[in-house]
Amino acid sequence: MLERRPFGETGEQATVIGLGGAALAKYSLADGVATARRALDLGVTFFDTAPAYGQGASQVILGTALAGSSAPYLLATKLGYLASPAAFRSPEALRAQLWENLRSLRCQQVDVLQVHVAERACWWQDGVTDDALVNPDAAHDFATAPVMEVLREAQESGLCRFVGITADRAEELTHVLRHLEVDACLVAYEYNLLQRQACRTALPLAETRGVVYIAAGILKPHLIEVHPEWRSAPPPRMSPAAHWRLQQLYDLQAASGLSLVGLGVRYLVGDTRISLILVGAATPAELEESVTAAQQGPLPPDLHRAIDALGLP
């Protein structure tokens, strides 16, 4: 059985492992559908997707896989990755994307509707490029931004139950979260076996506010399987400090007898401040590895502390 944790202050609960939809279309629609249905079989109760994943295929896959299911689950999708910076500030464009999301997902309501990559300034300010990040020193109309208007409208009309924000950068998400009232936040990449940025920024704030905290993107390529050749020839752009920590992690993994995936999942399961861990999977077998790891519970305390000591600030 998968552990269930409170889903913030919504009154709901979710399994500690959720299925992220970014990789569902990696191989084929059939593989994606099989993966999502296997998640249901395993008792997974949270599914996350976005119109940007697989150029829309991820939502179609989940819509197909979840249709007619009698199992309880929470479904989350997003608004974002629009055609132009101006569209991020257009209620009409956002409403159109929301309706297309619902059509692809074959539903009339999602549980969580989120702002995708909320650290982008184009959500909160006119006249900026779509790759500009929010500036803590600049004026942004967070609470009255068009996307928040559309999210509140969707919630009031029953198209979604809860609203949230997502980001790839914990520091910028924390700044946005300070200015918004939302039910959930998701941070990708910045809390895993080697990175801890979210631990000192977004996670403490979410805990204080009673906001759902979703840890996503925990299994980067170098944290899925050991690459022995990287001990002497690290990937481009990996800093010396990160390379040293990666080698130490490989040593810990070898001594533990666990896979890197098992280490990564169980390490985060040990942090009870996390509402759920979102794992990407393109096949049933990939999902099963993470679920099996979570079912084994947190790492032994000494191993958890050893991994803690490796974290990059």
pLDDT in tens, 119-161: 999 999 999 998 999 998 877 889 999 999 999 999 999 999 9
Mean pLDDT, residues 226-253 taken together: 92
Residue 129: C-alpha distances to residues 83, 87, 125 (Å): 12, 12, 10
**In the predicted structure, residue 221 carries a pLDDT above the cut 80:** no
Residues facing 278 on adjacent strands: 18
pLDDT of residue 137: 84
> How does strand 17-20 pair with strand 13-15?
unpaired
Q: Indicate the pLDDT class of residue 72, thresholds 50, 70 and 90.
A: very high
Could you tell me the two tokens for 160? 């979604």
**Full DSSP string of 166-227:** EES-HHHHHHHHHT---SEEEEESSSSSSB-GGGGTHHHHHHHHT-EEEEE----GGGTS--
Looking at residue 138, its pLDDT comes to 79
**Would you say residue 4 has pLDDT above 90?**
yes
Gyration radius of the chain's alpha carbons: 19
Percent of the chain scoring above 90 in pLDDT: 90
Beta strand pairing status for 4-6 and 13-15?
antiparallel
**What pLDDT does residue 220 have?**
82
Give pLDDT, residue 157: 99
Instruction: Tell me what pLDDT residue 269 has.
Output: 99
Q: Which CATH class is domain 4-226+261-298?
A: alpha beta
Q: Is the pLDDT of residue 312 over 80?
A: no
Taking only the tens place, the pLDDT of each residue in 111-121 is 999 999 999 99
Average pLDDT over every residue of 41-68: 98
Confidence tier at 222 by pLDDT (50, 70, 90): confident
Average pLDDT over every residue of 57-83:
97
Q: DSSP secondary-structure letter at 285?
A: H
Supply the mean pLDDT for the chain: 96
Cβ–Cβ under 8 Å, residues 167 and 196:
no
9 against 140, higher pLDDT: 9
What pLDDT sits at residue 313?
64
Q: What is the pLDDT of residue 235?
A: 87
> At residue 32, does pLDDT exceed 90?
yes
